[in-house]
Amino acid sequence: MNAISSDFAPPLKLIAPFFRYGVIFYLLSMMALLFFDPSFSYQQMEVAGWLHLFLLGFVMMVIFGAMAQLIPVVLEVGHVVVDVYYVILPLLGVGTTMMIAGFWLVPPLLSYGGLLVLTGMVIFAFENIATLKKSALRNLTVDTVKWSNGYLLLGILTGFSIALGFAGSVSIDVALMLKAHVYAVLGGYVLLTIMGLSLTLIPMFSLAHGFDEMPIRQAFKLVVLGVGTVFIGALLGTEWGMLLGYLLSFAGTLFYIWQIYIIAMLTVRKEVDVWAKSMIFAFGSLIFAMMAGMVYLLTDAESMLHTAVWFFLLGFVSLMIIGHLYKIIPFLVWFERYAPLVGKEKVPMLHEMYSKEGASVMFGFTASGVVLGGLGLLFECDILFKAGGSFLFAGAIFLYITTKKMLAYGQ
Amino acid sequence: MCNITKETAFEAISTVIDPEVGFNLVEMGLIYDVIVDEACNVHVVMTLSTQGCPLHQMIKQWVQEAVEKLEGVGTVEVEVVWKPAWNISMADENVKQALGGA
């Protein structure tokens, strides 16, 4: 392992807006949940609009910002053209807003917004691939970045085909293309990226060392294969192909959970801060989502599918991201504003740079909201679902306030 | 005549704090050795708690600057090694207790 130069680190002014706008989109998506009821179809335009608000506005926005910072750490080289992130941000932000307006209010905007998002993501994927080529490093995380970016491109292309299909510009089977699109983005990009990054970040923050990486290697192979199988199965319309792909992905995710368990057993830091609580809740949600998903495959009960997706997105993906925001943002702010002062004057510790009370309230509301909303979907109970949405919205307000304060610390 | 000893060098390095955990590098057990030659040149052998540490270069620089503050010091070199890999048993008792690894 060579030295990782601080020269590779992008400036805070480039990365911070991704987190700031990502959290605003999260707040808006939690607010929008208040207007949904628990019986719906995932093919409805309102639901598709909400999913894009959450996934593009929050998940992708934060992941892109995090990748701008973490790619040099993981690959040990600087970005080829880090300034492209100044272009990606407005493309993703404006494109997402237009797409949501297209889904909910003005359908023609969908294609135009989709085109902006497509452009931003293609720039992101190609910059990542160019940086990958520059790095001499070859390890599991590098492979994960490579595959996840490939699936992102496939996800974008299928998504754009769907937008053109809705607009009547091309003739495609939207339902099958939708499955290919959802799986390429969620399994191929989001899950693989989280798997790769968490293998770097979780041991780093928990000070776990010397663990066996066999499970994550199996997890990675199985998820890559599983996503590819579902993708091809969906494009060809073969149900058994998709089923095989789901099972491979399930097996891969089980190996991933096993890897995290091994790391958790070797964790040195026992402090249960907002990051640790978020990780525990996120992996608990992932296990529950898998169980609900398995029941859905066996029974075909739609409520089980909704519950599985809910716990995967709002329990696992959300909490994985939110928990890490309380580690990454203080570090970025500290690195920019306090690192030059080390040895010259007293500088704060990272854990002093966010409100523990605010973070704790955020976690309480969010975790309660996920559980209540999930039960609301499971039992198709409107009151429980609305209660869950309200708790999640309250948690999102606290996330917004604490994030704003972290970014402004020491200004 | 060189007045710098291994102990004074360790003392100087103990002013460098890891901002993530809040302990100094010496009590974390991250400083493996300090070699001082007759011309007062200092060679520090250290590690980091994680290989992917984004502060790698900066921590190295802080250690170098801390030793360079010693009076009469010659050149200062800081070498980061990964073997043996750091683990919590290398830290002082107070660190182990505070982190919960004791």
Residue A45 lies in a domain: yes
Q: Are B68 and B77 contacting, i.e. CB atoms less than 8 angstroms apart?
A: no
By residue count, chain B amounts to 102
CA distances to A57, A109, A169, A330 from A163, in Å:
18, 10, 9, 39
Phi/psi for B76 (5° steps) reads: -120, 125
pLDDT for the residue A249: 94
Chain B residues with CB under 8 Å of A347 CB are: 19
Sign of the dihedral defined by the CA atoms of residues A101, A102, A106, A112, in that order: positive
pLDDT for the residue B101: 46
Q: How far is CA A54 from the centre of its chain?
A: 10
Low-confidence stretches of chain A (pLDDT beneath 70): 1-8, 40-43, 167, 169
The one-letter amino acid code at A91 reads L
pLDDT for the residue A8: 64
Structural domain for A56, as ranges: 1-137
Q: Which residue(s) pair with B69 in the sheet?
A: none
Residue B90: exposed, middle, or buried by beta-carbon count in 10 A (0-12, 13-18, 19+)?
Answer: middle
- Mean pLDDT of chain B, nearest integer: 86
Chain B residues with CB under 8 Å of A1 CB are: 51, 82
Residue A280 lies in a domain: no
User: Beta-strand (E) ranges in chain B?
Assistant: 31-36, 42-46, 76-80
pLDDT for the residue B45: 95
Residue A42 lies in a domain: yes
What DSSP assignment string belongs to A327-369?
HHHHHHHHHHHTGGGTTTS----GGGGS-HHHHHHHHHHHHHH
Chain A residues with CB under 8 Å of B14 CB are: none
By residue count, chain A amounts to 411
Residue A364 lies in a domain: no
CB atoms within 10 A of CB A168: 7
Taking the model in full, what pTM does it have?
A: 0.88
Residue A345 lies in a domain: no
| Spatial separation of the C-alpha atoms in residues A279 and A282, rounded to whole Å | 5
pLDDT for the residue A351: 85
DSSP A88: H
| Spatial separation of the C-alpha atoms in residues A342 and A331, rounded to whole Å | 14
Both tokens of A264, joined, read 């958790």
Closest residue on chain A to B24 (Cα): A349
pLDDT for the residue B33: 93
Could you give all domains of chain B from N- to C-terminal order, each with its CATH number? 6-89 (3.30.300.130)
Residue A123 lies in a domain: yes
Domain count, chain A: 1
pLDDT for the residue A4: 41
Residue A311 lies in a domain: no
End-to-end CA distance of chain B: 42
Closest residue on chain B to A201 (Cα): B52
What residues have CB less than 8 Å from A221, skipping those under 6 apart?
A252
What residues have CB less than 8 Å from A44, skipping those under 6 apart?
none
Nearest to A3 among B22, B56, B66 (CB): B56
pLDDT for the residue B100: 66
Low-confidence stretches of chain B (pLDDT beneath 50): 101-102
Q: How far is B93 from chain A (nearest CA, A)?
A: 13
Buried/exposed code over A334-371 (b: 16+ C-beta within 10 A; e: otherwise): bbbbbbeebeeeebbbbbebbbeebbebbbebbbbbbb
Residue A359 lies in a domain: no
CB contact under 8 A, A1 and B22: no
CB atoms within 10 A of CB B70: 18
Both tokens of A409, joined, read 């610390």
CB contact under 8 A, B101 and A269: yes
